[in-house]
Chain A
Amino acid sequence: MNRLVITILGIVAAVGGSAVVFVGINKLYDLTEDRYALFNAVAGGLVSAGVFGLVWGNRLVVSPVVVWLIAIAVGAATGYALGLFEDPMRRLASGIAGGAALGLVLGMRATASILPSIDPLAAIIWLAVGTGLGFAVSAVSGGQIDRLRSLLAGGAVGWLFGAWLAADFDGSRAEVIVVALVLGTLAGAFVGRRPFPNRIARGNMAVASRKYIFAGPALVFVASALLFPLVRTIWLSLLTGNPRDLQWTGLTNYGEILTDPGIIDFSGFGEIFSSNMFWLAVVLLGAGFVTGRIAGRRLGGNFAAGGPSLTMLAFGVILFGFALFTSIRGTIPNNLWWIFSVIVFAVSLGLAVAVLADRSKGENIAKSLIFLPMAISFVGAAVIWRLIYVARPPTDPQSGVFNTLWVQLGFWSDSTTASTVIAAILGVVVAGVVYLAWRGWQAEANAIVAGSLAIAAGLGYFIYRVVGPGIGGVAISELTGELVADPVLFIQETPWNNFWMMVVFIWIQTGFAMVIFSAAIKAVPEDLLEASRIDGATETQTFWRVTIPQIYPTIGVVVTTLVVTVLKVFDIPKVMTNGNFDTQVLANEMWERAFTQLNFGLGSAVAVLLFIAVLPVMYINIRRMQSERLG
């Protein structure tokens, strides 16, 4: 109960506090026109509170709370005076009085460890440099900035550096009082020198303030959570050592990463030539190219991308990618494999669902259910799929969906009756599919022919395995010679365990792709589709020649968004394997290096690699925004 109260109080404080600050500042600036003195008093108090907050935070004064409260009071009083007096001399006098008072307080209560021994020469040089810079600024501004104020500001900063920051801290109380008094006087004169704004200027002040008040907080958050940390991470990636004592090391961290066999390892590359997948991919790519070439010749061009050639090329590319990424191992290839599979499958499945569900019966139910995993956390999804993938010891019954089916299939394919029944049922299906291909051939619908033949070939091979050599999760026990279950260790068996984790991600992200494609397809103008139908195009042709070109930009958006999301994938590998069994990805690698091994340099270098990987996406996004806003 106590926890509940604390939680609620925390929420109310955070939300209420932020609201009060924002509304308060807006209300404050509403005062400028009619109640300028009040506005100035509050503003003066706030500025003092900020400056002396920094003093407090840096432990420059003893009894900081008292000093802070005095500073707020003095600041408010000075502000009030400046809001009241219009005569320049009285303004200057009250500014100097306020500044000097604050300086005096600061000097009197300064901690013993910061008493400077003033080096007159250094102080004068710095003062000269500061005023010189002030003069330059006012000269460059061409009279926009008041000459004297510019000199005062430059002088104050120069004095601060020369008399205090550059000095040795072994001086006396008198010296610190002198430093603070002069500093206060210069700053006070700077404030007091400002002319009294007339009614119009005060009105403009209120208007001009809004852009800072409205855009400011967001920009502060963006800068402090993204921009500065980014710069700092790039800097950290050039350092090495423990977090308390970092030393410059140049590009060593990057060298270490790129030569680490755990991160990128080409040694298995030769195996690609002994993998069936690779040769199948080569055959498919070749056949797809030849088919496209023949179709192209027939139409009088060079290459025509039709259903059969595209199908073969697409499958060829997928198989080639898988052959490549199962032979080159390591963190970076793993990440590339993630990007490859997630994009291929999430985009194609998302597009397929969007198209099939469009205007079909039960569209909304189908789309909701496909989209549902988007609401589930990666942690929840990882747990869900662990249950699906779980492999029990061979002697126990299986409880994971995949292994139950796989082991059962093994026993079936071993038994003559069961395998005959399976072969008979699938044989009928194959016959149907072949018939479909034949009908498609008659109707000159090449896509149907290619698709049906591909399905028939796959099923045929499956029947052969069931009847012939056997398929499924069984093995012959070496001890007893009996047939025993041999489940697949989906999470442990490398390299395919990577793919099983990608499946989880695809399961989640297909919904995202589908929702966006669905909206894009519905936005394709109806008259375009109508025109193509009137011209005699089939539904398939309309889809490939009209709908797809119309949604090209959307495909771009989905792909770039997915690239960014996939690069950041962390939770799924972390929860499912924690990077063991060769499943490391960059985000997890970064976390391990930085927060488990406490090697900030290496962790930052991995983070910078991630950042470099998204740079092309950032470039594309910026270009897209520019063109959208201009046209």
Chain B
Amino acid sequence: MTATSERATATRSRSAEPRPLGNRIYGFLRSIPTWFLWILVILWTVPTFSLFVNSLRTRDAQRGSGFWNAFSDETFPTLDNYQDVLFPEVGAGLGNALLNSASIAIVATIIPIAIAAFAAYAFAWIDFRGREWLFIGTVALLAVPTQVSLIPLLSAYSTGVRWTIPIVERTITLFPDLDLSGQIPSVWLTHTGFAMPFAIFLLHNYIAGLPKDLFESAAIDGADHFKVFWRLVLPLSVPVLAAFAIFQFLWTWNDYLIALTMIGGNREALPATIVVASLAGEFGAQEHLLTSGAFVITLFPLIVFFALQRFFVRGITAGSVKG
């Protein structure tokens, strides 16, 4: 009974669509867009994967054939490249530079978060004159390219800030010559300044969206702004603080331009990105170390990325999509 009805359905559908083979081909070809997605995914993954594989191959193997030949190498996998780039027999390795990177990234993440969170709270919940315009003005600076500030900041760090008073032509020092250029604190300060517009923008969007009743009942209980901020806003804002922290951490860890400008020639204080980039400048001899060096500086962001992707994505999308 069941078999008959099945056969009947099959016959009916065949008579309705006379070219089953054609339909199958058509359906198959219509799914090309889906393949396109996965082809893109593979194309997007191969470069990073090839770096990883090559970092485990000897210099000769890297120069002699493509990464897909790794399994036919007798020496694969080897950790020699990592050994050589982290703890070389001559000179300082990446180890020192990684410490510098960590120092830059940790401080240049925590301080901007704190400062921007206070400011975002002020812009959202403290009423004062000119608040709107200060906020819009600050966030508008988001688009200003870093290059615009580099020369004045570097000269401020290296020789201080002086102001010549007009008419009397006397020069006074407003910011002393602390000889910060070449030192890590100059990078902290620069990152903190440059992070402000985005941080305030991101945190403000979230903090301004907290329910108003919360603040009203806190005010009735006699809590001042500092208490409200500390007891209510900070704990409630953990998701957005985490989102910004990840964003800023990756940004400062991966930064090259600011560290290169502010630290420049002081080899002791250089972060890992600059050391790896300078390996890239030395063609030939060090080329095989480039792979392990680049993978070491990439590994940490990748771990952060996979562990905390959700927050990272939230940080990037917040504010650019309404609703």
Residues in A lying within 8 Å of B, measured CB to CB: 3-4, 7, 10-11, 14-15, 18-19, 22, 26, 30, 54, 57-58, 161, 165-166, 206-207, 210-211, 213-215, 217-219, 221-222, 224-230, 232-233, 236, 243, 349, 352-353, 356-357, 360, 365-366, 368-388, 392, 396-401, 404, 432-433, 435-436, 439, 507, 510, 512, 515-516, 519-520, 523, 553-554, 557-558, 560-561, 564, 567-568, 570-571, 574-575, 578, 586-587, 590-591, 594-595, 600, 603-604, 606-608, 610-611, 614, 617-618, 621-622, 625-626, 628-629
A210's nearest neighbour on chain B, judged by CB, is: B225
**Chain B residues with CB under 8 A of A214:** 118-119, 121-122, 126, 225, 229
The 9 closest A-B CB pairs, nearest first, are: A225-B193, A377-B254, A218-B119, A214-B122, A229-B149, A375-B305, A229-B152, A215-B122, A383-B294
B26's nearest neighbour on chain A, judged by CB, is: A439
B153 within 8 A of A: yes
Give complex CA distance A400, B291 in Å.
13
B11 within 8 A of A: no
| Contact of A377 with B273 in the complex, beta carbons under 8 Å | yes
| Contact of A221 with B192 in the complex, beta carbons under 8 Å | yes
Contacts known (A210-B126, A225-B189, A519-B321); A233 close to B301, Cβ less than 8 A: no
**Chain B residues with CB under 8 A of A383:** 51, 276, 280, 290-291, 293-294
**Chain B residues with CB under 8 A of A611:** 144-145, 148
B81 within 8 A of A: no
Most buried by A among B145, B173, B200, B257: B145
B100's nearest neighbour on chain A, judged by CB, is: A7
Contacts known (A219-B138, A357-B37, A625-B139); A558 close to B118, Cβ less than 8 A: no
B147 within 8 A of A: yes
Give complex CA distance A146, B323 in Å.
51
A523's nearest neighbour on chain B, judged by CB, is: B323
**Chain A residues with CB under 8 A of B51:** 380, 383-384, 387
| Contact of B321 with A520 in the complex, beta carbons under 8 Å | yes
What are 13 residue pairs bridging A and B, where the CB atoms are less than 8 Å apart in the complex? Answer: A161-B167, A206-B224, A218-B138, A221-B196, A226-B197, A230-B149, A236-B152, A353-B37, A379-B297, A383-B294, A387-B50, A512-B316, A625-B136
CB distance from A363 to the nearest CB of B (A): 9
| Contact of A375 with B121 in the complex, beta carbons under 8 Å | no
**Chain B residues with CB under 8 A of A629:** 132, 136
Per DSSP, are chain B's interface residues mostly helix, strand or loop, or mixed?
helix
Give complex CA distance A604, B145 in Å.
12
**Chain A residues with CB under 8 A of B128:** 211
Give complex CA distance A139, B96 in Å.
63
B220 within 8 A of A: no
Most buried by A among B142, B197, B226: B226
Given contacts A399-B66, A404-B66, list 9 more A-B pairs with CB under 8 A: A57-B173, A214-B121, A222-B141, A365-B41, A436-B29, A595-B154, A595-B261, A603-B151, A607-B145
| Contact of A356 with B301 in the complex, beta carbons under 8 Å | no
Give complex CA distance A626, B140 in Å.
11
**Chain B residues with CB under 8 A of A226:** 141, 144, 148-149, 193-194, 196-197
CB distance from A17 to the nearest CB of B (A): 10
B250 within 8 A of A: yes
B15 within 8 A of A: no
Give complex CA distance A384, B26 in Å.
39
A355's nearest neighbour on chain B, judged by CB, is: B33
Contacts known (A7-B100, A379-B254); A510 close to B261, Cβ less than 8 A: no
Give complex CA distance A219, B151 in Å.
21
| Contact of B116 with A15 in the complex, beta carbons under 8 Å | no
CB distance from A82 to the nearest CB of B (A): 24
| Contact of A369 with B41 in the complex, beta carbons under 8 Å | yes
| Contact of B153 with A229 in the complex, beta carbons under 8 Å | yes
Contacts known (A11-B107, A372-B44); A571 close to B33, Cβ less than 8 A: no
Interface string of B261-301 (1 = CB under 8 A from A): 10010000000011011001100000000110110011001
| Contact of A225 with B139 in the complex, beta carbons under 8 Å | no
A381's nearest neighbour on chain B, judged by CB, is: B47
| Contact of B280 with A382 in the complex, beta carbons under 8 Å | yes
| Contact of B297 with A377 in the complex, beta carbons under 8 Å | yes
Q: Which of B57-65, B83-91, B210-218, B237-245 contacts A (4 or more CB under 8 A)?
A: B57-65
| Contact of A15 with B110 in the complex, beta carbons under 8 Å | yes
Range for the number of chain B residues in contact with chain A? 35 or more
Which of B30, B140, B155, B200 has a CB less than 8 Å from the CB of A621? Answer: B140
| Contact of B50 with A554 in the complex, beta carbons under 8 Å | no
| Contact of B107 with A233 in the complex, beta carbons under 8 Å | no
B106 within 8 A of A: yes
| Contact of B96 with A3 in the complex, beta carbons under 8 Å | yes
| Contact of B122 with A14 in the complex, beta carbons under 8 Å | no
Interface residues of B in 123-173 (CB under 8 A from A): 123, 126, 128, 132, 134, 136, 138-155, 165, 167-168, 170, 172-173
Give complex CA distance A313, B107 in Å.
50
| Contact of A567 with B253 in the complex, beta carbons under 8 Å | no
| Contact of A233 with B294 in the complex, beta carbons under 8 Å | no
**Chain B residues with CB under 8 A of A523:** 321-323
| Contact of A594 with B253 in the complex, beta carbons under 8 Å | no
Contacts known (A214-B225, A229-B153, A600-B151); A19 close to B114, Cβ less than 8 A: yes
| Contact of A366 with B38 in the complex, beta carbons under 8 Å | yes
Which of B119, B122, B144, B155 has a CB less than 8 Å from the CB of A614? Answer: B144
B46 within 8 A of A: yes
Give complex CA distance A590, B41 in Å.
36
